[in-house]
Amino acid sequence: MSAVRRPVMANPRPRTRPARYAIAVVIAAVLVLVLIANSLLDYALLDSIAGRTSLFGLLAVALIAVATFIAVRVLDRDPAQRRRHAVRAAVLLGFATLLWLLVSDFFLFARAAGPGVAAVCALACLPTTAFALLVVRRIDRNEKEPWRLVLVAAAWGALVATSLVIWGESFWQSIAVSTLVPGPGLDTAQAFSAGLLEELGKGTAVVLLFLVMRNEFDDVVDGIVYGAAVGLGFNFMESITYMTNLYAIFTPENSGAAAAGFQWYARQVLGLFMGHATYTAYVGAGIGIARQLPTPGKKVLAIVAGFVVAIAAHFSWDAWLTFFPIGTGAFVLIGVHLRTLLMTGPFTAGVIALLVMGLRNESAALATQLREEAATGSGAVLPQEVDILTHPWRRFLERYRALDRKGMAAYARVGRLQAAQLDLAMERWHRARQEIETPLEAEDELRREILVLRRQAAF
Amino acid sequence: MSARQSDPVTGLYRTLLAFAAIGIVLLTAGLIEFAHFEPIANSGLHARIVGVYRYDTATGQTSGANTQTFARADDFAAVVDWSGLPDKITVQALWYDGFQNIVGSVGPGHPSELRDHTTIPADVPPDLKFHLPGEYIFAIERIVDGQPVEVLARRLVEVERS
């Protein structure tokens, strides 16, 4: 069997780079400048642990930026070069992660708790975060996003967004505690700081992803997936930080492990989907909706709306958390669960509502496009395949039948064929909505690829 | 009905805008709360914090030099000079730990009523053996209608982790 080139994605990139790349470069440049200025300012003025973190964390941020750039090239470049780029990106990401963990550990909290504790905390958070990423990716039932981009999004959330937040919040807090009346007003100011800075930090990653990889950013569903992935990455790193911090604080009281364990439960079980993942999913939803709106004004409004909901949801949790009575004694456990459910649950329900609406729109549009493609007689989609392709469960049964008859390779081949057919339908959908800037030839190329895949799947 | 009006993306867009409207209400409520607890008040008055010193809980006496940083096991207290404040105002002095919990206080009362309370210790929270680490705030606040409206003096103290 001959090797087959991967089918062209929905909305393949044109040869000339569109203007949004320039916007992405400008945003990235501004980010780097802000990071440098912030870190130098923090280091010079605050002379604190966070200030030192700022300075040493810059290298990790630079590594992540380069790794992201290379990881994006992995998707677009010639297949022969993909592996090389993938390895380079993985190595850089690995270095950046290690560097950040080192910085975080030694200059923030683990200096007291020890790197071993930090490693245990990271290991404890890894399975839950991986599970959540798996779930988030699977909710895009029609066209799953590439793992590489989902993981890049999570890495940005974990490393870059947290770096931005440490600097911004340290600076904000140093001013707030020196000027405001301690108490509810100061708490509210810090809640605004968390809502604004953390959502802007995480949201910037989603915006950049959209600007650079719009081919993989089809609609509100994709936006929610990428947004939630960024949030999960952020939550992962924040969980480790809080766990190591509380372990260090409460170990002299002989309750370090219990404090870290409770923090793990609160952030990695109870708040896994209902915290940062929900907030940043709104940013992604706004960008995903903007992707399909006709006028620039509406696009901007949708993106701003997504940020506003994310900031408000985050702010309301941080600001009014203490007003929610959680009871005493045995009722504390019930109270903690109720608090999360009642304070963050409505926002999560909102994301789910947008997701369901988006999936319904997407499924209806793909069904229409698949039927129309079948009617052209091109052979890319056969009339009897339409009903299968429009239902995830039937698609799975089709793959399972291939597995049953001819093994795992046949399962994979049918899977690739189905993915390519859905890519084609997605491309037709965007073209019908005039949301695409690529020439019509790309669709024909995709059809040819599908015919090759069909021949392979038949053997 | 035109094709644009029936566009399902418009439904998503409007739903998001409705959520954003709720978000704006929440953020506005936050701003109102902030404005309520942080009123713009500047009396021009300044209280005097003499210093923060090691503190002996048994004798109630301070010792040593005015210090910025303490270990978790150290007991410490702020010493206040109330004499510079007019007696017509109501004040209180509070210690806040790194989690913004109140861990020591005097007042509220008129400065003359507080003259016997010049040493205000930061207490170790109940059920704990040591102070929590972090940045502590000692603030002398002016009170109006039972609510702090202005910080007349402030001192930040670091309790180290180890």
Same domain, B141 and B123: yes
CA distance A300 to B54: 57
CA distance A101 to A120: 12
- Quote the domain boundaries for residue B108: 48-159
| Overall average pLDDT of the A177-183 stretch | 86
User: For A446, phi and psi rounded to 5 degrees?
Assistant: -65, -40
Determine the pLDDT at residue A79: 63
Q: Are A400 and A411 in contact (CB under 8 A)?
A: yes
Same domain, B31 and B10: yes
Determine the pLDDT at residue A111: 61
The number of C-alpha atoms within 13 Å of A147 and in the hemisphere containing its C-beta is 4
Residue B6 scores a pLDDT above 80: no
User: For B40, phi and psi rounded to 5 degrees?
Assistant: -80, 100
- Poorest-confidence range of A105-119, A378-392, A443-457, B134-148? A105-119
Q: Please answer yes or no on whether A184 and B19 come within 8 Å at the CB atom.
A: no
Same domain, B145 and B116: yes
List chain B residues with CB under 8 Å of A187. 100
Give A428 or A107, the one with higher predicted confidence: A428
Q: Which of B19, B70, B161 is nearest to A352 (CA)?
A: B19
Tell me which residue has tokens 């020890």.
A114
Determine the pLDDT at residue A58: 67
- Poorest-confidence range of A137-146, A274-283, B18-27? A137-146
Determine the pLDDT at residue A417: 92
List chain A residues with CB under 8 Å of B97. none
Q: How far is B62 from chain A (nearest CA, A)?
A: 25
DSSP label at residue B131? P
| Overall average pLDDT of the A336-350 stretch | 91
Kindly state whether residue B43 falls inside one of the protein's structural domains.
no
Same domain, B86 and B26: no
Same domain, B56 and B34: no
Alpha-carbon distance values, B31 to A188, B34, B77, B127 (Å): 8, 5, 34, 36
Same domain, B95 and B133: yes
Q: Please answer yes or no on whether A289 and B137 come within 8 Å at the CB atom.
A: no
ipTM value of the model?
0.85
Residue A10 scores a pLDDT above 50: no
| Overall average pLDDT of the A274-288 stretch | 95
B134-144 and B147-159 as β-strands: parallel, antiparallel, unpaired?
Answer: antiparallel
Round the CA-based radius of gyration of chain B to a whole number and report it. Answer: 23
Residue B60 scores a pLDDT above 80: yes
Q: Which residue of A has its CA nearest to B131?
A: A249
Tell me which residue has tokens 């793959």.
A399
**What is the per-residue pLDDT across B145-158, written as a single tens digit (0 to 9) for each?**
888 889 999 999 99
Kindly state whether residue B108 falls inside one of the protein's structural domains.
yes
| Overall average pLDDT of the A94-122 stretch | 69
Residue A273 scores a pLDDT above 50: yes
- Poorest-confidence range of A23-37, A297-311, A437-451, B60-74? A23-37
Same domain, B19 and B61: no
User: For B154, phi and psi rounded to 5 degrees?
Assistant: -145, 145
Q: Please answer yes or no on whether A182 and B19 come within 8 Å at the CB atom.
A: no
Using pLDDT thresholds of 50, 70 and 90, give the confidence band for residue A394.
Answer: very high
Structure tokens at B157: 């103290």
**What is the per-residue pLDDT across A186-243, written as a single tens digit (0 to 9) for each?**
889 999 999 999 999 899 888 988 887 777 888 999 999 999 999 999 999 899 888 9
Cβ count near A445 (within 10 Å): 15
Determine the pLDDT at residue A53: 59
Q: How far is A455 from chain B (nearest CA, A)?
A: 36
Q: Which residues pair with B151 in a beta bridge?
A: B141
Kindly state whether residue B72 falls inside one of the protein's structural domains.
yes
CA distance A77 to A65: 18
Mean pLDDT, all residues of chain A:
83
Residue A131 scores a pLDDT above 50: yes
Q: How far is B33 from chain A (nearest CA, A)?
A: 7
Max mean pLDDT range (A90-99, A273-282, B117-126): A273-282
Residue A47 exposed, middle or buried by CB count within 10 Å (0-12, 13-18, 19+): exposed
Give A421 or A1, the one with higher predicted confidence: A421
Residue A318 scores a pLDDT above 60: yes
Residues with Cβ within 8 Å of A251's Cβ and at least 6 positions away in sequence, in order, are A113
**What is the per-residue pLDDT across B73-129, written as a single tens digit (0 to 9) for each?**
899 999 999 888 898 999 999 999 988 889 999 979 899 898 888 999 999 988 888
Kindly state whether residue B124 falls inside one of the protein's structural domains.
yes
Using pLDDT thresholds of 50, 70 and 90, give the confidence band for residue A456.
Answer: confident
Determine the pLDDT at residue A348: 95
Give B126 or B138, the one with higher predicted confidence: B138
| Overall average pLDDT of the A364-368 stretch | 92
| Overall average pLDDT of the A63-73 stretch | 73
Of A177, A305, A312, the CB nearest to B156: A177
Using pLDDT thresholds of 50, 70 and 90, give the confidence band for residue A4.
Answer: very low
Structure tokens at A426: 């997605």
Same domain, B76 and B26: no
Amino acid at A149: L
| Overall average pLDDT of the A405-416 stretch | 89
| Overall average pLDDT of the B31-36 stretch | 92
Determine the pLDDT at residue A9: 46
User: For B38, phi and psi rounded to 5 degrees?
Assistant: -125, 60
Residue A13 scores a pLDDT above 60: no
Q: Please answer yes or no on whether B38 and A180 come within 8 Å at the CB atom.
A: yes
Give B19 or A183, the one with higher predicted confidence: B19
Q: Which of B159, B2, B152 is nearest to B86 (CA)?
A: B152
Kindly state whether residue B78 falls inside one of the protein's structural domains.
yes
Q: Are A96 and A67 in contact (CB under 8 A)?
A: yes
Torsion of CA A63, A68, A70, A71, to 10 degrees: 130
Kindly state whether residue B96 falls inside one of the protein's structural domains.
yes
Give B124 or A457, the one with higher predicted confidence: B124
Q: Please answer yes or no on whether B19 and A302 come within 8 Å at the CB atom.
A: no
Same domain, B81 and B34: no
DSSP E strands in chain B: the ranges are: 48-56, 61-63, 69-70, 76-81, 90-96, 102-109, 119-121, 134-144, 147-159
CA distance B8 to A360: 9
Max mean pLDDT range (A113-117, A133-137, A340-344): A133-137
Give A174 or B19, the one with higher predicted confidence: B19
Residue A409 scores a pLDDT above 50: yes
Same domain, B29 and B64: no
Number of H helices, E strands in chain A: 19, 0
Residue A2 scores a pLDDT above 70: no
List chain B residues with CB under 8 Å of A301. 17
User: For B144, phi and psi rounded to 5 degrees?
Assistant: -130, 125
| Tally of domains in chain B | 2
Our CA angle for A271, A158, A222, nearest 5°, is 75
CA distance B26 to A313: 8
CA distance A123 to A144: 27
Structure tokens at B62: 């301070």
Strands of the sheet containing B76-81, edge to edge, are B61-63, B48-56, B76-81, B119-121
Same domain, B28 and B81: no
Residue A156 scores a pLDDT above 60: yes
Kindly state whether residue B70 falls inside one of the protein's structural domains.
yes
3-state DSSP call for residue A380?
Answer: coil
Q: Are A374 and A447 in contact (CB under 8 A)?
A: no
Terminus-to-terminus CA distance in chain A, angstroms?
9
Same domain, B56 and B100: yes
Tell me which residue has tokens 């021009």.
B44
Residue B2 scores a pLDDT above 50: no
